[in-house]
Amino acid sequence: MRGELRQPVKSMNEFDALQQKLDTHFCREWPFIREPGLINRWKSGDASPARCKSDNLCFGPALEGKGVYCVVDATAKREV
């Protein structure tokens, strides 16, 4: 993907295409933000779906300089 970003975006169509590529790339990563051991869970026989809701909330803390983590999971842990 690095090679695809060499020229500036010139139109909204190009911007939309770039946004779609970025969304597709990052949405694959979301489940691992919430469950870093997801692959191992699946390998161990637990084939239940990833618990990630793909809601983009994990990137909110990054905008505040706090890193990327699952906000939903962190909230649930505080409530317990």
User: According to the model, what pLDDT value does residue 40 have?
Assistant: 95
User: According to the model, what pLDDT value does residue 19 have?
Assistant: 65
Q: Of all residues in the chain, what percent carry a pLDDT higher than 90?
A: 19
Burial class from Cβ neighbours inside 10 Å (0-12, 13-18, 19+) for residue 57 reads middle
Residue 1: pLDDT band (50, 70, 90) is: very low
Report whether 52 contacts 33 (CB < 8 A).
yes
Report whether 9 contacts 19 (CB < 8 A).
no
